Each structure stands twice: as C-alpha cells, then as structure tokens.
C-alpha cells in the first residue's frame, strides 16, 4: 500500500491499538461505531466489506449470559418483529452474536425527534409490540424478553414498524424453577420478580411494557407520574402491578385492551358525527327491516341508484339496504355498523352472511368485557354522511383479499391495520387524510394522487417494491 497522505502516515505511526476480533470477523467486517457497552458486553455497528451491508455485532464475556444466548434463542424463530441472527461465533470466554442492522431509531431517540407519533400511531406501535410478545410467549417453551425498554424497541420512522431487539438476557421459561438464578434487567423497567422474588414469566414482559407506555406518554418511567389520559393510565398501571396476578395475564389481553382504547377514543372523536347519522341509520334500518321481510331478493341484486339520504329529513325512497345509493359507494353492495351503541341494528342483521365484493370477508370482530363485566364488541364502523363515505374502520378483523375503495372521493380516514389484505386500491381518494394499513399482506402500495394524505403507516407488509408516493 502506498501511503501518500500525511494524515494516514501520522495515524499509522501513532500507537493505535485496534479492538480485537476473531479473524473470521475481522476479515469480513469494518467496525463503524460502538453503540453500547457495559461491564460484560460491547455492541458495534459493522460494515460488511463485500456488500456494504450493515450488521450489529455484539460480544459478551459474562459466562452467565454469554451462551450465544441471543442467537441460539432466536435461531428457530421467525417473525417480522424480530431481528434475523446468524449462527453465533465464539470461544468459552467470549461470544459474538451477529445480526443484520435494522434501519430505524430506538424508541427513546424516536420520541425526542421531530417525527413524534400521535396517539393512534402510538397504539399501533404498541399493538405491534404486543404481537411480537404474543409470538414469543406462545412458543412451546415461552421466551421471556426480560429487558423491554425504549432503547430495545426499534421504530422505523418511515413505517412506524416496531422491532424488538436485544435478547441478551432473555430466557426460556422453565416450569419447575421457582426463582431466576441470575438477575438482570434495567432499573425502572424491571418488575420486582426480576430482582429474584420469583421466576420471571410472560407477565414480566407485561410489566416492562407498562413502563414503556408511561415513558412514552410522560417522558419518565416513574409511576408516580400519572398519564393524563385515564384509560391509558389504567392500562399502564395494570401492567405494572407489583403482584403479577394483578397484571394483564397475557400479551393478547393487553393487546385487546389497547385496541379497545383506540376504538373508544375514535368513537369519542366521531360520536358527534355518528349521532348525526344515527337517526338516519335507525330510520333506514327500520325501513330496511320491513324490506327484508317483504323481499329478501335484494341480497342478490345490485342496488339501484336513488336519491341520497338527507341528514335533516329521513329518506323514504331508499330501495337499498342501508341507503348508500351515492355513486361513490357503489362498490360496496352492503355493509353494517358493528358498534355497541347500535347493537339493535347489529342484531337485526345477525344471521346474514355479509360479504363485500372483492372477496373479502369479515368475522364478527372481537367480543370483550369491560371492567364492570359488561360485554362489548370491537368498534369498527363505516361513517358516512350525505351519501358520502368519510371514514372506514375495519381494524384487526382478519380481512383477506383485495380492498378496493378507489373513487371514494370523500373518504378521509381508512384504518384497515392488522388484517390479511393482499391488495389495496385507494386511487382517486382525493380527500384521504389518514391511512393505516400496517400488518397486512400487501406486496405493493400505490399512494400517488392522494394530495390530502398526511398520516400514513404501512409497517409490517411484505412489500416487494418501494411505496409509490408523489414528490
């Protein structure tokens, strides 16, 4: 090598000692930065020379945790919210785990940035973390992360997707062990049992999750600081109950609580609008009901266009089930409001096989009990006014197939996250402001020609091409 530059020569003559790596790693990677270290581990970002791909390289020297734990634990797991590990390297004293670098920011950094997420995105992120925990906890030998904290949750700012990292102190739950033998964790985020009072189980992760919620909303992990929103405060403090028995007993019940919260919040925001259309809905459904009994054949027919329902004056000339005779609504042959406030309507339609063309089906949502033991249904609804669809919420319903809402020029909010949709057509939705399609099976997404769109997330979709957007 020819050393021409004075800096290079000066540097090479300085007493530089490089961090020592096994040859197989030092031949393959350049270390770029050390992103973390403590008494028994150092974590680096490394660049693979041949590909320029970034990796995270972690070496551990503590014999209690350094069993190549992280990689071994995760090597048989596959989830979009988990990092992909290579087989661990290492000797008896030091272990190296290697995974691909995940593009994104740790939650603590993300929250200090400009791209602060609104409550609704926050719930989406939290729900996606719940999904990861559900997966981990449902393994034959449940895997307890044991170190859930903002810096271990990586958020992709483009998509709001969450990925859980750092399984350095995770372990498999062993049925017959009363206590953990090694105590690790991060103060503030670790529950009492992690200090040796009992064996850690999945409720340990629930505890830390609760602290994350508090941290997100108050900026501190201290549970003396109350979250302003009562319902979220309730959820967070239930997560962090000292006695594991008083916490949410599973990540899935926690997830349900979060979805419930989101739906209630949405309902509150739209209740005025709903009240406005409720009269029409009820009026129409009574009309429809009489039609149903008179003539069931409409279920097979395309709705004939008639005049739009008017807010002030309940229509009498509606020939279709729920009066969506606006041309923009023609793609939907029928729908119903699935909302506990309208349980009457829901009951009336029960027993009909509700299908929407384009081959997607829905189930009946999620039934849950509130704190007083009263049963409710997941609130998913389609809000329309003056014959125009304004909001569609079909969240977590297991929808499959393609959803075509193209041409719904008044549609402002479309929330179809947590389904299994394989296609989405939103072309011509010129009023669309918020779009949430996270956790579906979309392979492509075309968001061109949507001038009003300001709030979008599409995390956790197996996209095979970049999302198309204007500008």
Partner 1 sequence: MPRAKESTSTLLQRIFKTTSLERFIKRFDESEYDTPTFSEYISALCSERNALPQHIINKADIERTYGHQLFNGTRTPSRDKVLQLALGFGLSFDETQKLLRVAGKSALYPKIKRDAVIVYALNHGYDIVAVQTSLFDLSLPTLGEER
Best CA proximity match to 397, nearest among 414, 376, 373, 421: 421
Best CA proximity match to 460, nearest among 396, 408, 404, 405: 396
Query: Is position 109 an interface residue for partner 1 (rule: CB under 8 A)?
Result: yes
The token duo for 218 is 């108050």
> Where does this chain touch partner 1 (CB under 8 A) — which range of 2-10, 279-287, 382-390, 409-417?
2-10
Query: Is position 22 an interface residue for partner 1 (rule: CB under 8 A)?
Result: no
User: How would DSSP label each residue in 318-367?
Assistant: --STT---SGGGTT------B-GGGHHHHHHHTTS--EETTTEE-----E
Compute the distance between CA of residue 315 and CA of residue 108 in angstroms, rounded to an integer. 53
Contacting residue, 24, 30, 307, 363, with partner 1 by CB under 8 A: 30
> Where does this chain touch partner 1 (CB under 8 A) — which range of 61-69, 105-113, 206-214, 448-456?
105-113
Binding mask of the shown chain, residues 51 to 80, with x at each position contacting partner 1 by CB under 8 A? -x-x--------------------------
Query: Is position 299 an interface residue for partner 1 (rule: CB under 8 A)?
Result: no
Query: Is position 11 an interface residue for partner 1 (rule: CB under 8 A)?
Result: yes
Query: Is position 203 an interface residue for partner 1 (rule: CB under 8 A)?
Result: no
Residues 6+ apart with CB under 8 A from 177: 199
> Where does this chain touch partner 1 (CB under 8 A) — which range of 37-45, 202-210, 344-352, 439-447?
37-45
- DSSP-assigned beta bridge partners for residue 423: 402
Of residues 118-177, those binding partner 1 (CB under 8 A): 149, 151
| Length of the chain in terms of residues written | 471
Query: Is position 6 an interface residue for partner 1 (rule: CB under 8 A)?
Result: yes
Nearer to partner 1, 14 or 312 (CB): 14
Nearer to partner 1, 104 or 244 (CB): 104
Nearer to partner 1, 57 or 258 (CB): 57
CA contacts within 13 A on the Cβ side of 282: 10
Query: Least distance in Å: CB of 459 to partner 1?
Result: 19
Contacting residue, 25, 31, 276, 289, with partner 1 by CB under 8 A: 31
Compute the distance between CA of residue 123 and CA of residue 129 in angstroms, rounded to an integer. 10
Query: Least distance in Å: CB of 37 to partner 1?
Result: 5
Any idea what the Cα angle at residue 83 is, between residues 455 and 57, rounded to 5°? 120
Query: Is position 116 an interface residue for partner 1 (rule: CB under 8 A)?
Result: no
Letter string b/e over residues 316-334, b meaning 16 or more CB atoms within 10 A of that residue's CB: eebebbbbbbbebbebbbb
Interface residues with partner 1 (CB under 8 A)? Answer: 1, 3-8, 10-11, 14, 16-19, 30-38, 44, 47, 52, 54, 108-109, 112-114, 149, 151, 186, 188
């Amino acid at each position: 090598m020819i050393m021409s530059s004075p800096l290079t020569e000066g540097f090479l003559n300085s007493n530089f000692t490089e961090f020592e790596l096994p040859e197989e790693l030092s031949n393959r990677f350049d270390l770029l930065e050390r992103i973390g270290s403590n008494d028994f581990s150092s974590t680096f970002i490394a660049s693979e020379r041949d590909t320029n791909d970034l990796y995270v390289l972690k070496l551990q020297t503590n014999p209690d945790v350094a069993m190549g734990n992280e990689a071994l634990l995760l090597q048989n797991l596959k989830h979009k919210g988990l990092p992909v590990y290579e087989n661990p390297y290492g000797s008896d004293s030091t272990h190296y785990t290697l995974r691909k670098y995940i593009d994104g920011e740790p939650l603590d950094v993300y929250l200090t940035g400009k791209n602060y997420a609104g409550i609704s995105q926050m719930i989406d992120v939290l729900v996606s973390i719940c999904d990861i925990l559900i997966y981990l906890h449902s393994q034959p030998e449940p895997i307890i992360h044991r170190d859930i904290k903002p810096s271990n949750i990586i958020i992709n700012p483009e998509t709001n997707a969450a990925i859980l990292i750092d399984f350095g102190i995770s372990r498999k739950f062993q049925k017959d062990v009363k206590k953990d033998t090694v105590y690790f964790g991060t103060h503030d985020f670790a529950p009492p049992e992690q200090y040796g009072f009992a064996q850690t189980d999945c409720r340990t992760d629930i505890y830390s999750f609760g602290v994350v919620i508090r941290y997100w909303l108050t900026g501190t992990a201290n549970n003396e600081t109350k979250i302003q929103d009562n319902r979220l405060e309730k959820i967070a403090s239930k997560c962090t109950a000292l006695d594991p028995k008083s916490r949410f007993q599973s990540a899935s019940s926690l997830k349900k609580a979060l979805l419930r919260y989101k739906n209630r919040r949405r309902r509150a925001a739209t209740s005025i609008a709903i009240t406005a259309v409720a009269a029409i809905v009820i009026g129409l459904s009574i009309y429809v009901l009489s039609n149903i009994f008179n003539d069931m054949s409409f279920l097979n027919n395309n709705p004939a266009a008639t005049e739009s329902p008017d807010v002030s004056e309940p229509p009498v000339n509606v020939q279709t089930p729920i009066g969506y005779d606006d041309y923009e609504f023609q793609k939907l042959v029928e729908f119903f409001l699935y909302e506990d406030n309208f349980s009457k309507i829901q009951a009336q339609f029960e027993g009909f096989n509700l299908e929407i063309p384009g081959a997607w089906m829905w189930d009946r949502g999620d039934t849950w009990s509130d704190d007083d033991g009263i049963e409710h249904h997941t609130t998913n609804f389609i809000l329309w006014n003056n014959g125009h669809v304004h909001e569609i919420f079909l969240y977590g319903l297991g929808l499959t197939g393609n959803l075509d809402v193209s041409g719904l020029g008044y549609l402002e909010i479309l929330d179809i996250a947590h389904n299994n949709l394989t296609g989405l057509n939103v072309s011509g939705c010129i009023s669309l402001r918020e779009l949430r399609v996270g956790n579906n099976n979309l392979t492509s997404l075309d968001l061109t020609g949507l001038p009003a769109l300001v709030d979008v997330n599409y995390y956790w979709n197996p996209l095979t091409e970049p999302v198309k957007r204007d500008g």
